[in-house]
Amino acid sequence: LRLKKCPQELVAPVDPKLIKQAVLNLMLNAVQAMPGGGELMLCLSRNGTEDALIDVIDTGPGIPPDAAERIFQAYYSTKRGGTGLGLPMAKRIADEHGGSLSVKSEPGKGSDFTLRLPLN
Ligand SMILES: Nc1ncnc2c1ncn2[C@@H]1O[C@H](COP(=O)(O)OP(=O)(O)OP(=O)(O)O)[C@@H](O)[C@H]1O
Ligand SMILES: [Mg+2]
Protein backbone atom coordinates (compact mmCIF):
# COMPACT_ATOMS: atom_id res chain seq x y z
CA LEU A 1 0.00 0.00 0.00
CA ARG A 2 1.41 3.36 -0.99
CA LEU A 3 0.03 6.65 0.23
CA LYS A 4 0.82 9.76 -1.75
CA LYS A 5 -0.31 12.90 0.04
CA CYS A 6 -0.87 16.31 -1.40
CA PRO A 7 1.88 18.78 -0.47
CA GLN A 8 -0.58 21.69 -0.18
CA GLU A 9 -3.41 21.99 2.29
CA LEU A 10 -6.46 20.12 1.09
CA VAL A 11 -9.71 20.99 2.81
CA ALA A 12 -13.04 20.11 1.26
CA PRO A 13 -16.48 20.40 2.88
CA VAL A 14 -17.54 16.76 3.03
CA ASP A 15 -19.49 14.33 5.15
CA PRO A 16 -16.55 12.29 6.51
CA LYS A 17 -18.62 9.14 7.11
CA LEU A 18 -19.85 9.07 3.52
CA ILE A 19 -16.44 9.79 2.02
CA LYS A 20 -14.93 7.06 4.19
CA GLN A 21 -17.55 4.64 2.85
CA ALA A 22 -16.85 5.65 -0.76
CA VAL A 23 -13.08 5.27 -0.40
CA LEU A 24 -13.54 1.97 1.43
CA ASN A 25 -15.68 0.61 -1.42
CA LEU A 26 -12.98 1.59 -3.93
CA MET A 27 -10.16 0.14 -1.82
CA LEU A 28 -12.03 -3.15 -1.29
CA ASN A 29 -12.52 -3.47 -5.04
CA ALA A 30 -8.82 -2.78 -5.59
CA VAL A 31 -7.78 -5.47 -3.11
CA GLN A 32 -10.30 -7.93 -4.57
CA ALA A 33 -8.91 -7.24 -8.06
CA MET A 34 -5.46 -8.41 -6.93
CA PRO A 35 -5.97 -11.86 -5.34
CA GLY A 36 -2.37 -12.74 -5.98
CA GLY A 37 -1.10 -9.48 -4.52
CA GLY A 38 -0.14 -6.21 -6.13
CA GLU A 39 0.19 -2.53 -5.45
CA LEU A 40 -2.60 -0.40 -4.06
CA MET A 41 -1.96 3.32 -4.20
CA LEU A 42 -4.01 6.03 -2.56
CA CYS A 43 -3.15 9.39 -4.03
CA LEU A 44 -4.43 12.78 -2.87
CA SER A 45 -4.05 15.83 -5.07
CA ARG A 46 -5.80 18.97 -6.11
CA ASN A 47 -7.03 20.07 -9.45
CA GLY A 48 -6.11 23.77 -9.43
CA THR A 49 -8.29 25.67 -6.98
CA GLU A 50 -11.44 23.79 -7.86
CA ASP A 51 -11.31 20.19 -6.74
CA ALA A 52 -9.73 17.69 -4.40
CA LEU A 53 -8.91 14.40 -6.11
CA ILE A 54 -8.65 11.04 -4.40
CA ASP A 55 -7.23 8.37 -6.68
CA VAL A 56 -7.44 4.69 -5.77
CA ILE A 57 -5.08 2.84 -8.08
CA ASP A 58 -4.47 -0.89 -8.40
CA THR A 59 -2.28 -3.16 -10.48
CA GLY A 60 -5.05 -5.71 -11.10
CA PRO A 61 -6.40 -6.95 -14.45
CA GLY A 62 -8.16 -3.70 -15.31
CA ILE A 63 -11.65 -3.29 -16.73
CA PRO A 64 -12.54 -4.36 -20.26
CA PRO A 65 -13.75 -1.37 -22.34
CA ASP A 66 -17.18 -2.94 -22.88
CA ALA A 67 -17.72 -3.25 -19.11
CA ALA A 68 -16.52 0.26 -18.23
CA GLU A 69 -19.98 1.77 -18.72
CA ARG A 70 -21.76 -0.92 -16.76
CA ILE A 71 -19.64 -1.03 -13.60
CA PHE A 72 -21.38 2.05 -12.16
CA GLN A 73 -24.85 0.55 -12.70
CA ALA A 74 -26.58 -1.04 -9.73
CA TYR A 75 -26.29 -4.84 -9.47
CA TYR A 76 -23.56 -5.20 -12.08
CA SER A 77 -21.04 -7.59 -10.55
CA THR A 78 -18.59 -10.16 -11.82
CA LYS A 79 -17.96 -11.53 -8.32
CA ARG A 80 -19.49 -14.53 -6.65
CA GLY A 81 -21.68 -13.07 -3.91
CA GLY A 82 -21.04 -9.48 -5.08
CA THR A 83 -23.98 -7.10 -4.72
CA GLY A 84 -22.80 -4.75 -7.45
CA LEU A 85 -23.68 -1.83 -5.21
CA GLY A 86 -20.21 -0.71 -4.09
CA LEU A 87 -19.47 1.51 -7.08
CA PRO A 88 -23.02 2.91 -7.54
CA MET A 89 -22.93 3.90 -3.84
CA ALA A 90 -19.51 5.56 -4.21
CA LYS A 91 -20.71 7.39 -7.34
CA ARG A 92 -23.85 8.59 -5.61
CA ILE A 93 -21.80 9.90 -2.66
CA ALA A 94 -19.54 11.78 -5.08
CA ASP A 95 -22.58 13.20 -6.93
CA GLU A 96 -24.21 14.31 -3.68
CA HIS A 97 -21.08 16.31 -2.87
CA GLY A 98 -21.21 18.00 -6.27
CA GLY A 99 -18.27 15.86 -7.41
CA SER A 100 -17.88 12.82 -9.60
CA LEU A 101 -16.45 9.33 -9.81
CA SER A 102 -14.62 8.21 -12.93
CA VAL A 103 -12.27 5.43 -13.95
CA LYS A 104 -9.30 5.04 -16.21
CA SER A 105 -8.19 1.53 -16.85
CA GLU A 106 -5.74 -0.27 -19.03
CA PRO A 107 -6.62 -3.95 -19.39
CA GLY A 108 -3.76 -6.05 -18.08
CA LYS A 109 -2.17 -3.16 -16.19
CA GLY A 110 -4.68 -1.94 -13.63
CA SER A 111 -7.32 0.63 -12.79
CA ASP A 112 -7.38 4.18 -11.51
CA PHE A 113 -10.62 5.35 -9.88
CA THR A 114 -10.82 9.11 -9.34
CA LEU A 115 -13.11 10.60 -6.73
CA ARG A 116 -13.42 14.31 -7.43
CA LEU A 117 -14.75 16.58 -4.68
CA PRO A 118 -15.23 20.35 -5.00
CA LEU A 119 -13.04 22.31 -2.55
CA ASN A 120 -15.85 24.75 -1.81
N1 LIG B 1 -10.51 -2.15 -9.22
C2 LIG B 1 -11.20 -2.93 -10.06
N3 LIG B 1 -10.54 -3.72 -10.96
C4 LIG B 1 -11.25 -4.50 -11.80
N5 LIG B 1 -12.61 -4.57 -11.85
C6 LIG B 1 -13.29 -3.81 -10.98
C7 LIG B 1 -12.63 -2.95 -10.05
N8 LIG B 1 -13.58 -2.31 -9.32
C9 LIG B 1 -14.75 -2.74 -9.78
N10 LIG B 1 -14.61 -3.64 -10.77
C11 LIG B 1 -15.68 -4.32 -11.51
O12 LIG B 1 -16.89 -3.62 -11.28
C13 LIG B 1 -17.87 -4.50 -10.73
C14 LIG B 1 -18.80 -3.70 -9.84
O15 LIG B 1 -18.12 -3.26 -8.66
P16 LIG B 1 -18.98 -2.98 -7.33
O17 LIG B 1 -18.05 -2.54 -6.27
O18 LIG B 1 -20.11 -2.08 -7.67
O19 LIG B 1 -19.61 -4.39 -6.98
P20 LIG B 1 -18.86 -5.70 -6.44
O21 LIG B 1 -17.50 -5.35 -5.95
O22 LIG B 1 -18.97 -6.74 -7.51
O23 LIG B 1 -19.79 -6.14 -5.23
P24 LIG B 1 -19.70 -5.54 -3.74
O25 LIG B 1 -19.14 -4.14 -3.84
O26 LIG B 1 -21.06 -5.61 -3.23
O27 LIG B 1 -18.76 -6.44 -3.00
C28 LIG B 1 -17.07 -5.59 -10.06
O29 LIG B 1 -17.81 -6.79 -9.91
C30 LIG B 1 -15.90 -5.75 -11.03
O31 LIG B 1 -16.27 -6.51 -12.14
MG1 LIG C 1 -17.22 -3.72 -4.62
Per-residue pLDDT of the chain (120 residues; tens, 9 = 90+): 999 997 888 899 999 999 999 999 999 999 999 999 999 999 999 998 899 999 999 999 999 999 998 999 999 999 999 999 999 999 999 999 999 999 999 999 999 999 999 998
Q: Does 86 contact ligand 1 (Cβ within 6 A)? A: yes
Which pTM was predicted? 0.97
What is the rounded distance in angstroms from the CA atom of residue 48 to the CA atom of residue 8? 11
Report how far residue 44's alpha carbon sits from residue 107's, in angstroms, rounded to the nearest whole number.
24
Mutate to test the pocket of ligand 1, among 29, 80, 91 (most ligand atoms within 8 A of CB): 29
Q: What angle do CA 119, 10, 53 make, to 5 degrees?
A: 65
What spacing in Å lies between the alpha carbon of 64 and ligand 2's midpoint? Answer: 16
Output the CA 48–ligand 2 centroid distance in Å: 30
Rounded Cα gap, residues 120 and 105, in angstroms: 29
The finding on whether 105 has its CB within 6 A of some atom of ligand 1 is no
Report which protein residue has its CA nearest ligand 1's atom 9. Answer: 29
- Write the residue with the smallest CA distance to atom 31 of ligand 1: 78
Pairing of strands 2-4, 40-47: parallel
Residue nearest to atom 27 of ligand 1 (CA): 82
The DSSP code sequence of 53-112 is EEEEEE-S----TTTTTGGGSTT---STT--S-HHHHHHHHHHHTT-EEEEEEETTTEEE
